Structure 1
């Protein structure tokens, strides 16, 4: 049988709701937010806590005593495993206009309350003792509810009651966090609907045992416009400065691998040595027409000294009436030997742009024979700019991916084929004409002899 609870009616209902747009978006260590609202009545007399103030356990006890002294003494406590103020700011839908927020029922409950207030930062000690504090104020035993047993909840308004609903929260990634919060919001909505259907005035509290670590969703506003997005990567690009200490060459790759073939392939990854550390750029230079970026290494593929040099030039082309820069070649120097990689003819961009390509493979021209040495450079997320660098940042990137991709060509050709079929069909229909003469029905009929 479902347990009966008697609730004491109150002449006035006190509202104590949490305003979530309270200028807080950071992480609060061992502090959690607390939302408290009632089904109606006069607002809470206390003022909002000042910005940045952490509500202690004693202050929380005083606030609860003030609210419950004149408000509904039927209290529903929604206690989540983990919760932070960032859960509301990231997943939204409480006080804003978001239609896809994770808290539609909580938003509706706050909008229908007669007053709103926020406690964005309550000490974890106070939050962990909230059941004990409420039990002392109401002088009743808490009743722990499971979401699956909500249909058995039956209330009446005579004596105080304390309902405790535990809500899970894993928060392993963005998708699961939003799903957990949306499911918990559904439980909140079902319980509030039961309270409303039974006409029971209530005071509801939404808090947690401890803070959560919110996984931030990527915002498009934080990205740069266009294709020069590499400024947000973990490592800064390699930068060479001119005599005035202004950046004149920039180079970046999220993966930089050098491979050599001497009977078999050997490979080494230079990404960390190039970008996570400060490389030696001896031999680099830059001017308005020619630039060289030389990156020096030690102990690469068995060579004590190893240097990679990007040779770039900028020329004025009359046909396009603008300047273009090209990566003419890449020089490899290793233990008094050198190799030139000329397979760079497709790496070019307007003079004021950078060049970007998601994947670049550059081979040396030596034939693959047992006695010959062949080199291969592999770049992932390759971007380079040798001219017109401003403020140490890449300019808009000329990407190697053409606008007319194979998928676009397939769509265009398919559309053209369908258009030709439609045109041919219309042409055939327009050629159909009616007969200009008909047989005379009063004349002799045509007789066709048949051989028996």
Structure 2
């Protein structure tokens, strides 16, 4: 027991030294750290830092150590990718517009918590090491949770636990603004707090980020570009992406589809291939597609794109069929894109995508390229099927058929594999260098010295002389 306490103290000392080293770095960026607990009197009123003071790593160690030592040992860490005080200023209700608040659950938790501490400015190198400090102090490994599994959460307050929820945030999301992303993260925090309240479990919660965001700086740079410029053409604004196709049932939106490019080609017997460019007819202000025949429920979704007559093909339709199933191994529901069907002139071509196109039910699916001919994700059902005469190509394809909450996609499950071309090139180059080194060492080990002429004890060589 004494050895374990000594190891724990040594570990804490190492973490404190790590925080101190981070604090000594010259960095002007800060990240806010918000801490609250269901227990009272964890901090004194004088413990709060002065206005404008940047909390160092050693000071943050003191705050967190006091919370864990005197408070509950069930700790929730809401870890966002990026966060700054500017986010609370622009999108929060405490400093901004109370009617348009992106943090209602967080602010309500701080108001009702018996103990709370807000550190507006913390050195972001120190805040990024918060998971290591909590793990070392609680002497337990972190458990990473997904928003879809929160309802299955069961806590035991007699056991120390560190539960981590990663909350994404980015200012360059294509379909979601920073405010929408922050509001979605706040809803996750509210769901966790409601579960804790229903189970009556004492807890301590920490909300912070790994690095600062750039809300105000990006706005200021945009304003600076409005000034007068000499001998320089004004920059052209980037074209806004077209909104996704959205099908609504009686309750609300239930299917979303988006692609940067939708193209198909049909090879007719004895003729040149016919190319179909469907992007402009599907998305944007000039879209003329009809969604008649589409439907959705909890386990089945069917999106029908009716184009009418296209390139001489009558009743041209593209149909996406998705199904949701529960898999006991992962203990959650997954959806698959089972069929992509093309109907025209009373004929049908069917592709199967269930082997490659799938994602958790609460997520959307995204892939940079979905084709039926090069690295195909869509495969004809049989060699005799009419689909063998078709080539389908979707660029930046994204689809969601379940748990749609609005006109924006949920977090995307991407089709990109781990072994990218860059990784393969690095592995092959390393393997080639290892083979060359091995061959060189083998050649050096095979070298033998010449001892016939250097050995004085050996027989002499007589050379006959001729006159």
Name which one, 1 or 2, has greater alpha-carbon Rg: 1
**TM-score, structure 2 length as denominator?**
0.41
**TM-score, structure 1 length as denominator?**
0.43
Greater helix percent: which structure? 2
